[in-house]
Structure 1
Amino acid sequence: MIQEPVNAFTHRFRLIAAGIFVVAAILYFTALGKTPLRVNAEIRCHDVIANMLERSDYIVPIYNGQPRFHKPPLFYWTVAATSKLVGGFNLTTLRIPPALFALGVLGLILWWGKILGTQREALLAMALLATTYMFVLHARRGSFEMLLTLLCNLSVLLLYLCVQKPSWLTGLGGTLAFGLAFLAKGTPALLYVPLVLFVWLALSHRLRMIFRWQVGTLAVVGILIAISWHLYVIAFRPESRQTIFSELLLPAGVKVGETSSAQHREAFYFYLVNIWRAAFPLSLLIPLTAFHVWHKRGYPPERPERLLVLMVVVPFLVFSSIPMKQDHYLLPAMPALALLSARAIFDVITQCAQLSRKWVTVPVLVTCIILLIASPVVVLGLVLVGDWLRILAVMVGLLCAALGVAGLLALRRAATLNGLGIALIGTALVFWCYFTVIRPVEDGFGSGRLFSDPTYLAQKEAWDQKFERYPLLRKLLDVDRGLKRSKQIQKPVPDEW
């Protein structure tokens, strides 16, 4: 494969990168505070932060009147700081930090592209990651996952550079990022940083490096940063020591004791099944990426791609082996998967092998067909759920269909990359319609919070007519479940503190 010069940051490269950032920002920030709270993790984060701001106590999280030590407080602090900065706490300020962290992860993709020695792959990886469903979902959700993803990937990148070219500055940066990653969510940081690096060094026959005094010093610094908050709680909250120890000893930061509220037990094949939906459309390229990595025999030990492979494989195997599983546990592995997928795509295209090209054309074909199917669904969603003017909704639907057709025509001309780019633009458009127009109403009904909203009460008769005419719409919006949950909601979410 012919690589581009590492430092050849051309005007076109910068323009395309800026365009991806702009599209991603529109996708992540539009109507960010419009979606009501529904997911338990986000509800807990909201209530903990509101309590912190009300009490001006940022050390011990309080939830439902009780100290909550299930997760370290770094994410709470970032939202509290954002709220102080803008002068108020609401759903928008709760979700601004994850959206910014998501843009930061896309920036790390560019940095990895410089290390790998190619611009085109970095741009493609950015586009793939930016439009992955799981990534978009957590970029718009006020929870820990995107902060963990940013810090884990930053730590691995800096520590890789430190191994390749020893430097106290990059080493300290990497250990600081790891310590903060642990402060963001706890033990998952151990799986994505120290464990991955340990396996990488072992397979590269460089494990003796960990016995150097410089490495030991950096490890001590990272550990002290990681457990600084826990040490404080142990020292000044003696009644909480047993809880803290139980949390630290459990993998993935999930407590399985009797007092836990977060048990997510699934079968060992959970990720093999759910990854296709959660990571769409990036997941469609997993067969190609696996074939590519197998063909390269996992890459030579000295290549950075070997580390990227381990960033995907090691957490996947570990999380598959433990009983507690959720889709977002694999979110920090998505940047590495996007980079490997982009490399695999360009490798296949430059080889010009007809059989291999099908590994790329089939995912693009599937995505374009989905865009065509989604076109009328988007129109109906914008009209029935979003109350858009029909002409505007039809125009958006036609644009989705046009992008699907354009992608298919590009495949017919053997312009695979063009087809993939068009398909990703169409995916971004569909996700924008869903997350900014349909998802707020869906979560509003599903959470039961919309039933007490004055806007809904003023339009209740119109909604009842819609549900009577379209029974499937009532089911898709989770109305019946929301009616049950609405009785359990004791108080509405305050707009500001």
Structure 2
Amino acid sequence: MVRVFWALLLSFYFFIFGSWVLSFTSLDEGRNASAILNMLKSHNFLVPYYNCQPRFEKPPMLYWVVVLFSGLLGFNELIARMVSGLSALGTAIMAYLIAKRYTDEKTAKKSFLVLLTLPHLWIESRALTPEMLNTFFMMVSLYLFLSERILLGWLFLSLAFLTKGPVGVFLTLLVYLLWRKDLKVFSWRGLAIFLAVGGSWYFYMFYEFGYDYFFRFFVYENVMRYTGQRLTHPSPFYYYLLVVFATTIFYIPMYLKVIKNFKRELLPYLTWFLAVIVFFSLAKNKLHHYILFAYPPMSVILASTIEERYIKKVLLLSAGVLLLIVLALGFYEGLRFTPKAYPFLESQEAPAYFYKSEDSALVFYSKRCIPREENTQKLSGLVITKEKYTKELPECSLLTEGIEFDGKYVLLRCP
């Protein structure tokens, strides 16, 4: 019981502490928060809306879980992001259970601690995005498949499908097949559960919006992103190796030891890790959070060789680093554009526009729709844009300015 208490306390610190410091940031957080707020206000829980338009880019499971939490605890940055924080904890627990089942208790405990010390998970556990929740459902499903509880495995895989789409389904089944090398997982009853639970919402959206929805989500957001026909985040093939290198920064001195002491029984974990990395490395578009499903097997591989004493030293060091990061983010919040701009948007009735830029969090905080407008002749009222575009709007006056992760923004009043 004491160990469980300390595990939960450490998990709260590494995965949730400081989630309230920043107001919503990044395009995805603002869009997701706005979709959730619209659900809470309209009681339409089937069709997500962002900026007065249906949001086809993401399935609804993240929205639904946050709505459930909000109904119990209220809706704010902490509660919304806590879904990712608890999902990170759940992912670490599932990694522990898989490692305990297929390696040993000691390695399982160490792998849990290793996951706590990965800076990439600190970021994703504090983001209102579906990736962490999706990873949790994938981990539960894989554990159930490996435990031969096939029907329950398909149920949780259907939840992953409703969280992020087909990619989680494909990778979970791929890892299982590489591990077990059998087809037991393909049960007719399991597939029926998957279609009934995971497919129901998609069937509704297809019924409601027809081919427009099918093309936008399945073709445009999945196939065209992967193949590069829709090129928005191009990166070199080795991009994810750099991400892994950065997120294991505390364990770099142990790399050589881990390689020298690699054991045959760790091959399923190595295959799992490589399957995720290679799959996303082949994609033309790359984002760092795509590879979260690779971290549980990586933690087991590290934990199998690295001594507990070293991991505890890393735990102490990373706790200090995380505290400094949270303090720095508190300072950064005071410089940000979003908290400076939304009081103007709330208090003034003038129309507002995005010009060649988008700060989606302002749609959420201002509780208004802000259309994009590229024609400078039609910009009359409040204009949100990046500082580098102000020279294209010489007649507009500055109301406020601030920084975001993707550059410096300004709020202008245009005649």
Same fold (TM > 0.5) = yes
- Letter matched to residue 324 of structure 2: C
> How big is each residue's C-alpha offset from its partner over 1:184-241, in whole Å with a ceiling of 9 and x where there is no partner?
1112203421122233344xxx35x46xxx7233234224433221111011222534
Q: Equivalent residue for 1:353?
A: none
> How big is each residue's C-alpha offset from its partner over 1:290-316, in whole Å with a ceiling of 9 and x where there is no partner?
5444x52xx3xxxxx443222211011
Question: Is 1:128 matched up with 2:114?
Answer: yes
Q: Equivalent residue for 2:238?
A: 269
CA distance in structure 1 between the aligned counterparts of 2:188 and 2:252, rounded to whole angstroms: 38
> How big is each residue's C-alpha offset from its partner over 1:75-112, in whole Å with a ceiling of 9 and x where there is no partner?
010001111111x3221221121111122122223322
Question: Is 1:186 matched up with 2:165?
Answer: yes
Give 5+ residue unaligned stretches, structure 1. 1-13, 163-169, 300-304, 346-415, 455-477, 490-497
Q: Equivalent residue for 2:363?
A: none
Question: Is 1:439 matched up with 2:363?
Answer: no
Q: Equivalent residue for 1:401?
A: none
- Letter matched to residue 27 of structure 2: N
Give the secondary structure class of the aligned counterpart of 2:240: helix
- TM-score relative to the length of structure 2: 0.77
Q: Equivalent residue for 1:98?
A: 84
Q: CA RMSD in A?
A: 3.0
Give the secondary structure class of the aligned counterpart of 1:484: strand
Q: Equivalent residue for 2:356?
A: none
- TM-score relative to the length of structure 1: 0.65
> How big is each residue's C-alpha offset from its partner over 1:150-205, in whole Å with a ceiling of 9 and x where there is no partner?
1111111110110xxxxxxx211111111101111112203421122233344xxx
Percent of residue pairs identical: 22
CA distance in structure 1 between the aligned counterparts of 2:340 and 2:38, rounded to whole angstroms: 25
Give the secondary structure class of the aligned counterpart of 1:281: helix
CA distance in structure 2 between the aligned counterparts of 1:283 and 1:17, rounded to whole angstroms: 29
Give the secondary structure class of the aligned counterpart of 1:485: strand
CA distance in structure 1 between the aligned counterparts of 2:228 and 2:33, rounded to whole angstroms: 20
Q: Equivalent residue for 2:355?
A: none
Q: Equivalent residue for 2:57?
A: 70
Q: Equivalent residue for 1:319?
A: 280
Give the secondary structure class of the aligned counterpart of 2:23: coil
- Letter matched to residue 202 of structure 2: H
Which structure carries more helix by proportion? 1
CA distance in structure 1 between the aligned counterparts of 2:276 and 2:71, rounded to whole angstroms: 36
Instruction: Report matched runs for 1:251-290 at 5 Å.
Output: 257=230, 263-281=232-250, 285=254, 288-290=257-259
Query: What is the Cα deviation at residue 322 of structure 1?
Result: 1.0
CA distance in structure 2 between the aligned counterparts of 1:268 and 1:450, rounded to whole angstroms: 37
Q: Equivalent residue for 2:315?
A: 424
Query: What is the Cα deviation at residue 487 of structure 1?
Result: 2.1
Q: Equivalent residue for 2:364?
A: none
CA distance in structure 2 between the aligned counterparts of 1:253 and 1:93, rounded to whole angstroms: 32
- C-alpha change, 1:323 and 1:117, in structure 2 (3 Å) is closer
> How big is each residue's C-alpha offset from its partner over 1:346-391, in whole Å with a ceiling of 9 and x where there is no partner?
xxxxxxxxxxxxxxxxxxxxxxxxxxxxxxxxxxxxxxxxxxxxxx
Question: Is 1:331 matched up with 2:292?
Answer: yes
Question: Is 1:232 matched up with 2:122?
Answer: no
| Residue correspondences, number | 355
- Letter matched to residue 233 of structure 1: M
Q: Equivalent residue for 1:173?
A: 152
Query: What is the Cα deviation at residue 59 of structure 1?
Result: 0.6
Q: Tell me, yes or no, if the aligned pair for 1:129 and 1:282 is still in contact at 8 Å.
A: no
- C-alpha change, 1:154 and 1:77, in structure 2 (3 Å) is same
Q: Equivalent residue for 2:72?
A: 85
Query: What is the Cα deviation at residue 37 of structure 1?
Result: 2.0
